[in-house]
Amino acid sequence: MDVQKEIDKLRREINYHSKLYYVYDAPVISDYEFDMLMQRLKALESEHPELITPDSPTQRVGGQALSQFTQVHHQVPLESLTDVFSYDELFAFGERMDSLIPESHNYTVEPKIDGLSMSLEYENGVFVRGATRGDGTTGEDVTENLRTVRSVPLRIDNAPERLIVRGEVYMSKAVFEELNREREIRGEPLLANPRNAAAGSMRQLDPKVAASRKLDIICFNLQYSSGEPFLTHAETLDAMRDMGFPVVQYKVYDNIRDCVERIEWLGENRGELPFDMDGAVIKINSLSQRSALGSTAKAPRWAVAFKYPPEKKESRVLDIAVQVGRTGVLTPKVIVEPVRLAGTTVSAATLHNQDNIDRLDVRLGDTVVLQKAGEIIPEVVSVNYAKRPEGTVPFRMPAFCPECGSPVVRDEDGAALRCTSPECPAQRLRNIAHFASREAMDIEGLGISVCESLINSGLVKSSADLYYLEAQSVAMLERMGEKSAQNLIAAIEKSKQAGLARLLCAFGIRQVGQKAAKTLAMHFPDLDAVMAAGEDELKAIPDIGAITAGFITEWFSLDQSKHQIRLLREAGVSFESRESVVDSRFAGKTFVLTGALQNYTREEASAIIERYGGKASGSVSKKTSYVLAGENAGSKLSKAQELGIPVISEEEFADMIR
List the CATH number of the domain containing 106.
3.30.470.30
**Do 444 and 563 have their domain in common?**
yes
Indicate whether 145 and 228 sit together in one domain. Answer: yes
Radius of gyration, alpha carbons of the chain: 29
Same domain, 432 and 559: yes
Task: In whole angstroms, give the CA distance from residue 176 to residue 579.
Answer: 39
Helices 559-571/545-557 angle, 10° precision: 70
Question: Residues 547, 644: one domain?
Answer: no
Query: Residue 591 in contact with residue 618, Cβ under 8 Å?
Result: no
Write down the H helix ranges in 332-459: 354-360, 428-436, 448-456
Buried-exposed string 355-384: b where 16+ CB fall within 10 A, e elsewhere? eebeebebbbebbbebbbbbbbebbbeebe
Q: Are residues 21 and 116 in the same domain?
A: no
> For position 23, what pLDDT does the model report?
45
CA atoms of 474 and 611, how far apart (whole Å):
39
138 membership: H or E segment, kind and range: strand 138-140
**Rounded mean pLDDT for each run of 10 residues along the chain, 658 residues in total:** 84 76 59 78 85 71 51 91 93 96 96 93 92 90 86 86 95 85 72 79 73 87 93 96 92 96 90 85 97 90 91 90 82 90 80 88 93 75 93 92 87 75 80 90 90 91 93 88 91 94 91 88 90 91 87 90 94 87 80 86 82 84 91 82 91 87
576 lies in some domain: no
What's the Cα-to-Cα distance from 569 to each of 345, 498, 499, rounded to whole Å? 50, 14, 13
**Closest by alpha carbon to 237, among 287, 271, 291?**
287
Do residues 292 and 286 touch, judged by C-beta distance below 8 A?
Answer: no
Measure CA 650 to chain center: 34
* Separation CA 41–CA 56 (nearest Å): 9
Burial of 570 (C-beta count, 10 Å sphere; 0-12/13-18/19+): exposed
Q: Is 257 contained in some domain?
A: yes
Beta-strand relationship, 417-419 and 329-341: antiparallel
Identify whether the C-beta of residue 524 lies closer than 8 Å to the C-beta of residue 578.
no
**322 and 383 in one domain?**
yes
267 belongs to a structural domain: yes
CB 37 within 8 A of CB 82: no
Considering the domain architecture, whether residues 112 and 52 belong to the same structural domain is answered as no
- Please report the pLDDT score of residue 290 as a whole number: 96
Domain-terminating residue out of 256, 285, 305: 305
Query: Whole-angstrom Cα distance, residue 91 to residue 256?
Result: 7
Please tell me the predicted confidence (pLDDT) of residue 251: 96
Count of all residues that appear for the chain in the document:
658
Residue 419 domain flag: no
Does 208 lie in the same domain as 288? yes
2, exposed or middle or buried, with CB in 10 Å at 0-12, 13-18, 19+? exposed
Closest alpha carbon to 464 in 557, 576, 569: 569
- CATH code where residue 507 lies: 1.10.150.20
Distances (CA, A) of 408 to 411, 420, 423, 549, 550: 10, 6, 14, 18, 15
How many beta carbons lie within 10 A of that of residue 328, not counting itself?
Answer: 27
In a domain, 417, yes or no: no
Secondary structure letter of residue 387 according to DSSP: G
Residue 611 lies in a domain: yes
Co-location of 489 and 367 in the same domain: no
Kindly report the CATH number assigned to the domain that includes residue 46: 1.10.287.610
Whether residues 94 and 220 fall in one domain: yes
* 436: exposed, middle or buried (Cβ count in 10 Å: 0-12, 13-18, 19+): buried
Task: Quote the pLDDT of residue 595.
Answer: 84
Q: How many domains does the chain have?
A: 5
In contact, 195 and 132? CB cutoff 8 Å: no
Q: Are residues 627 and 567 in the same domain?
A: no
Our CA angle for 458, 459, 463, nearest 5°, is 110
Apex CA 162: angle with CA 161 and CA 166, to 5°?
145
Q: What share of the chain is helix, strand, coil (3-state, %, to 5)?
A: 40, 20, 40
pLDDT of residue 506: 93
- By three-state DSSP, how is residue 394 classified? coil
Q: What is the pLDDT of residue 20?
A: 67
d(CA 83, CA 60): 14
CATH number at residue 624: 3.40.50.10190
Domain range holding 17? 3-58
The sign of the CA dihedral 193, 195, 198, 203 is negative
CATH code for the domain of 335:
2.40.50.140
Claim to verify: residue 348 and residue 455 sit in the same structural domain: no
Report yes or no: 207 and 145 within 8 Å, Cβ to Cβ.
yes
Closest CA to 262 of 204, 226, 231, 308: 308
Q: Show which residues are catalytic.
A: 112
Whether 472 maps to a domain, the answer reads yes
Nearest to 323 by CA among 408, 392, 432: 408
Q: Is residue 371 in a domain?
A: yes
